[in-house]
Amino acid sequence: MDVQFLGTSGPAGWPRPDCRCASCGRARAGGRTRAPASVLVDGEVLLSPSLSPDALREPPGSFKIKAIPNGYEVTARDGSRLLLASRASGGPDRPEDLGSPQAPDPPAEGPDPPDGPDPPDGPDPPDGPDPPDGPDPPDGTAPYDVALLDLADDPAQLGWLRSRGLIGGQTTVAAIYVDHRVPSEQEFARRCRMWRALLPADGDVLRASPFPGSGLSQQHQSGERGDWLSPDPEIGSPAHGQAAGQLRDQSGGTQRSSDDSASQEIQPSPASHRPPTAQHPSQYQPGGTTLRAPQYPPRRVLVLGGARSGKSAEAELRLAAEPDVTYIAAGPASTGSPDLAGQPPDTSRGDAEWAARIAAHRARRPPWWRTVETTDLAAVLRAERAAVLIDGIGTWLAAVMDECGAWTQDPDALRRTAARIDELIRSWRQTRARVVAVSDETGWGIVPQTAAGRLFRDQLGRLNQLLAAESEEAVLVVAGRVLTLPS
């Protein structure tokens, strides 16, 4: 199956001619353009917002096109199968439906949840949030060879499809409907790398072949939770993420990917400025050089930030596309978070405002995530092999200092606290899971007035340094913007 991206944006393109937002401004300044979404399969089947219902009933040759809720399933002559999101499944600028009569109305907009600090959490309620609004193939459907999804709207739909076994380890995933819902192409390329998805430009061609067997990852085949990076334990090695497909840049076929170490931004090809159209299908040229799919994200990431900086949202975004996530609420639900001055959390609070924060954080997490409330982080890191989100380290440290009686600065209590920290660092260093941990960056405000506050600030600062030293990546979130810290 050869898939040519004639256009990759929303219905008005990107940048939008009539829009003065910062995202469109950045695209104009960089000379980057994306035409409205349109996909040509094997040079014969055109899928676009203008697709008529008749095209579904009379595909050319032996092609099969099937409408599913919020998307389409396309089967090529060689048996390759493609899943295409029929429209952006949310957001203010929604591409038109591709004709699927089963696409539901968009959900009503609600108030944004508070952005931090991240409260610890208790067990999930019986009735969790609804699954993401994206393509919804029937249960029992075999894994697809290619999936084109609206990841700018909600990357959790990718995690949902992976958790159901519909997108397997050999499925090539690419983003479509890219528009000014994302801050910039560079930022969206960063996110696609975290989600192990490609970010094609207009004019690119993806070649995919049907893969043998079920196409499921080792984890889904065995029915057990295996290593997050199985079978190869080396992070970022060439064995990881080799594309089942091939992608050709129509400007000359040079190999490139969204994880290009030379530049985080995808540079547009001449074809990006003059994308082929449905009226000129002869511009379609199948095949091309192999594109290496994005390498697996780093195993250990420390996300630092102050109160309401967006650090929790960044941590959750990093794991949104994972099929198996354990959320660790590292302390009792009545425990707060430290402030910028380094004051320890108030372990006695249990007010309605804090309960509302807990509910808001729980509601925005995908429904298939598991929540575990524990202060034994070392045991979790030793046992887990999938993805783990720890929120947060400051709350955990405060709870450990409570358990050890360290607030009085008794030497024996401080030694017990140090032993717990050492145990955590050892487990963090040797974990087989993919771990994202959130921690508060304290000490930027006034010096704490109490001895306990100064002790907590100093302990957390040292703990952050230890975790960062043993992490493949550490980032600082300020005003919702992510700064990668050099190693």
- The residues that are catalytic are 361
CA 49 – CA 86 distance, rounded (Å): 8
Peptide bond into 43 cis (omega under 30): no
Question: In sequence order, which residues have a C-beta less than 8 Å from that of residue 372 and are 6 or more positions away?
Answer: 326, 327, 328, 329, 380
Strand partners, 246: 207
